[in-house]
Structure 1
Amino acid sequence: MVTRRFALVLVLGMPLPVLLPSPWLLTLAVVGLVTGATVVDLLVAAPVTAVMLRRTGAETVWLGETTTTTLTVTNTAGRPMWLRLRDRWVPSAGADRTEHRLNLLAGTQAEVTTTLTPTRHGDRAAVRVSLRSYGPLGLAYRQRRQRWDESRTPKWTLRVLPRFPSRRLLPEKLAKLRIFDGSVVTRGRGQGTEFDVLREYVVGDDVRSIDWRASARTHDVVVRTWRPERDRRVVCVLDTGRTSAARIGDEPRLDAAIDAALLLAVLASKADDRVDLLAVDTAVRARVEGGGHRTKLPRLISSLAALEPALVETDFGLAASTLLRRDHKRALVVIFAALDAAPIVEGLLPVLSRLTTRHRVLLASVRDPETALLARLPESGATADDVHLAAAAELALAERTRVRALLQQQGVIVVDEPRETFASKVSDAYLMLKAAGRL
């Protein structure tokens, strides 16, 4: 194929024969000379089939951070290569520069670095590396079809982990956990806590904690100490149906749920509890269970990264049957779902009794503060549209209150908070249940 330089040289050379006595003959000579040079240039250009590609770099990155990948280009031809390379990624990968020009001697290689700043979590793939080999004069080039380029492109997928803004709350929550665990204050007895050790009585201990039989055996006053329950099971159930696509502020409701689930998972892992994950709409989209804390948490984070809202109604019956089929051990089931009347009353409530009889259930929902603002009428000059909008918002708030009351009647703990405090309140609810021994 010819380049723009071929056309430019041809245009610049055409006026010269007009000044001479035999313009047509010389015009043909100029055209023939440029065409011949182009043919030679095309023959000298190295074939793109002689290019070997290899990619290295990061495979995971947190959303909002920047990473790089390196593409190593090797010239296996026996002649120099003037190469133009385009490293194409999906738009949401945020590639800064995709086109590069390389001059490779025979048997040499060069590295092309692409900086990626993803704009969405999930899997961001390298689409295609397009190759174009030029001749030394730049008049012609060799290039294969797009399908061939795709077959030679090194397969590479960058997994973008979800944004985790509540990470800043971890020191505070871990400090509370240490208090409950007895690392900061003296361990005390709470409802449902586990027996720890016997120790000598000291002034200030609760006399109800004295173990009289052990005291008689040791001829000294000893007391029992307790610690919070450990090795309990926490299951995070994420609704990925249509309600999870609603935007709270500038992000989908699902992103807020993922952030809160991440904080809860890290906190529960630090507390030596087992954390499982179930993401469901009309099908199970992600499921993580089994394995130790060190191996499960990375798998759980990676599974959360791949979740996207689906515009379908969530099948809570499927979620309940999946949970109940697993085992009979009691667990804290944290359901991240919208507190909307239709999906809760028609979908969750019919199967809720099956869950609450075996597990402790907590429903966590992100509240949209815009609804409360819309329910307020302007202080002056309210129009009919304002009145209708305020009435609709007030009705939505009343429905939300009614649904929350129905869930609480079934023994469900409800966390209904705005985005700014949502993750913190969900973790506080877990810590409260753990401190009281109610997991």
Structure 2
Amino acid sequence: MTWRAGVLLLVGALSLPVWPAPLVGVALMTGAVLLLCAVDWALAAPLHAVTATRDGDRSVRLGGTATITLRLTNTASRTLRAQVRDAWVPSAGAVGDVPPQRVTRVAPGGTAVLPSRLTPTRRGDRPAVALAVRSLGPLGLAFRQWAGRPATPPWTLRVLPRFDSRRHLPEKLSRLRVIDGTQVTRGRGQGTEFDTLREYVVGDDVRSIDWRASARRSDVLVRTWRPERDRRLVCVLDTGRTSAVRVGDEPRLDTSIDAALLLTALAARAGDRVDLLAADIAVRATVTGNGRSNLLNRLVTAVASLQPALVETDFGLVVGEVLRRERQRSLVVIFTALEAGALGAGLLPVLPRLAARHRVVVAAAHDPVLTSLATAAPARPADAYAAAAAWRALDERTRVRAALARHGVTVVDAPADRLAPVVADTYLRLKAQGRL
């Protein structure tokens, strides 16, 4: 029964003082209300005759808004008066155009269109949880509501990474064009792909002189080189325990994904092949660089559902997978954390195997909280202990960077909001120097 049945009974109770036998009055009024409720319930449209379907967006970027439409079709011979509650997981940010308390009327054979706007607050897959439909009688005194009727139409909205670092792409592409020599202002990178011959000028490396061409032209000619194209790049995302730490306003994994997307977009424009591997104690996602035209879309879709796992990353597994998949010398960029506990016992023992075959870059976003704790003046005794802990953590990071550098590893240690452009600059610098 609905609240209207209670109100009807309360109104009838106001007439009890005029009844000669109040108990008889209560019984008669209660019976009348129950009879009306039974009749109203019987006249409500049966829920087995109601079907539900969905259509709308399948994916949306984090921070964007998607529209999912629920369609209720009434195949019964009675008008459906329904209250509908379409439940999603809280992080989906669902807001229906029709409030659950509002009554939606659907004529026999008709269809009600109920759109919902979703503004997700987290990356990943956001499924519809349950659909509840309450069929009201014509008087609004009683309703039918059966669990599982109509069946909840399945729907999952994939929330893609925000990719805020896209704004840096035009500037990085401009630098890439300079390196590749497609602009008038050409960079003189020490590449290994022959470009053209030109006359020798003071300051040119004598090792670049082409003696045969010089003899034919009776002039001194030097070879010009361009940075290599069709190189290989492997982005490795550490999805272990350290990737769950919040750095700034988001988990470290989200910062790493954003940097990997910018690096992938830049390398794909440079003509390089990009592969991606995400792993902790198991491989969570892989993307190969085949089909460069849709590489970025495939990579965005693959990493959208990645979530940190509260386990220590097995870097032996990671290095083994990279060595097994990449036979050709490649640039391997490992997005992880500069923590002595994670890298000292995990990555450093297996790093020589990886560095012997590939050029390795370790990219990590440092926590601004550590810097603020270490530089702030202690206002109370507890602050001094926090500052000491911060200094110790920063000192451990310095030792980890030094240990990685001894193996010939390039270390990128930048704030979370600068990690993506700094990693892209490192890639461009290595490419200009012909070190890929």
The separation in 2 between residues aligned to 1:78 and 1:110, in whole angstroms, is 16
1:118 corresponds, among 100, 117, 120, to: 120
Could you tell me which runs of 5 or more consecutive residues in structure 2 were left unpaired when the two chains were aligned: none
Q: 1:67-94: CA deviations, max 9, x gaps?
A: 2111111111122110111010000001
**SS of structure 2 residue aligned to 1:317:** helix
Task: Please state if 1:317 is matched with 2:316.
Answer: yes
What's the C-alpha RMSD, in Å, of the aligned pairs? 2.6
Contact 2:191 2:226 in 1 (8 A): no
**SS of structure 1 residue aligned to 2:338:** coil
Contact 1:45 1:134 in 2 (8 A): yes
- Residue type at the aligned position of 2:345: E
Farther-moved stretch of structure 1 (342-351 vs 281-290): 281-290
Offset of residue 220 of structure 1: 10
**SS of structure 1 residue aligned to 2:48:** helix
The separation in 2 between residues aligned to 1:194 and 1:366, in whole angstroms, is 34
The match for 2:264 is: 265
The match for 1:413 is: 410
Task: Please state if 1:132 is matched with 2:134.
Answer: yes
The separation in 1 between residues aligned to 2:393 and 2:203, in whole angstroms, is 52
Task: Please state if 1:79 is matched with 2:78.
Answer: yes
Contact 2:241 2:312 in 1 (8 A): yes
The separation in 2 between residues aligned to 1:286 and 1:185, in whole angstroms, is 41
Contact 2:168 2:421 in 1 (8 A): yes
TM-score, normalised with respect to structure 2: 0.91
**SS of structure 2 residue aligned to 1:432:** helix
Q: 1:296-330: CA deviations, max 9, x gaps?
A: 22121112211111211111001011111113111
Farther-moved stretch of structure 1 (397-406 vs 220-229): 220-229
Offset of residue 64 of structure 1: 1.4
Could you tell me which runs of 5 or more consecutive residues in structure 1 were left unpaired when the two chains were aligned: none
Offset of residue 400 of structure 1: 1.2
Against the structure 1 CA distance between its residues 322 and 110, is the aligned structure 2 distance closer, same or farther, given a 3 Å change threshold?
Answer: same
1:423 corresponds, among 398, 420, 425, to: 420
Farther-moved stretch of structure 1 (179-188 vs 16-25): 16-25
The match for 1:144 is: 146
Offset of residue 206 of structure 1: 6.2
Q: 1:155-209: CA deviations, max 9, x gaps?
A: 111111122221211111111111111121355653333124x578699996966
The match for 2:35 is: 36
What is the correspondence of 1:293-312 to structure 2 with a 5 Å cutoff?
A: 293-312=292-311
Offset of residue 291 of structure 1: 2.3
Against the structure 1 CA distance between its residues 186 and 213, is the aligned structure 2 distance closer, same or farther, given a 3 Å change threshold?
Answer: farther
Q: 1:324-346: CA deviations, max 9, x gaps?
A: 11131111110111111111110
- Residue type at the aligned position of 2:189: G
The match for 1:59 is: 58
Against the structure 1 CA distance between its residues 112 and 377, is the aligned structure 2 distance closer, same or farther, given a 3 Å change threshold?
Answer: closer
Offset of residue 377 of structure 1: 6.0
Offset of residue 382 of structure 1: 6.0
Offset of residue 215 of structure 1: 7.4
Offset of residue 20 of structure 1: 3.7
**SS of structure 2 residue aligned to 1:261:** helix
**SS of structure 1 residue aligned to 2:117:** strand
The separation in 2 between residues aligned to 1:79 and 1:189, in whole angstroms, is 80
Against the structure 1 CA distance between its residues 375 and 24, is the aligned structure 2 distance closer, same or farther, given a 3 Å change threshold?
Answer: closer
- Residue type at the aligned position of 1:430: Y
Q: 1:200-231: CA deviations, max 9, x gaps?
A: 86999969667565677899998755332112
- Residue type at the aligned position of 1:121: R
Task: Please state if 1:285 is matched with 2:284.
Answer: yes
The separation in 2 between residues aligned to 1:402 and 1:66, in whole angstroms, is 45
**SS of structure 2 residue aligned to 1:391:** helix
Against the structure 1 CA distance between its residues 376 and 142, is the aligned structure 2 distance closer, same or farther, given a 3 Å change threshold?
Answer: same
The match for 1:94 is: 93
- Residue type at the aligned position of 1:134: L
Contact 1:187 1:227 in 2 (8 A): no
Offset of residue 17 of structure 1: 4.9
Contact 1:53 1:154 in 2 (8 A): yes
- Residue type at the aligned position of 2:72: V
How many residues align? The count is 432
**SS of structure 2 residue aligned to 1:152:** coil
Contact 1:187 1:226 in 2 (8 A): no
The match for 1:399 is: 396
The match for 1:387 is: 384
The separation in 2 between residues aligned to 1:256 and 1:188, in whole angstroms, is 31
The match for 1:249 is: 248
Against the structure 1 CA distance between its residues 290 and 268, is the aligned structure 2 distance closer, same or farther, given a 3 Å change threshold?
Answer: closer
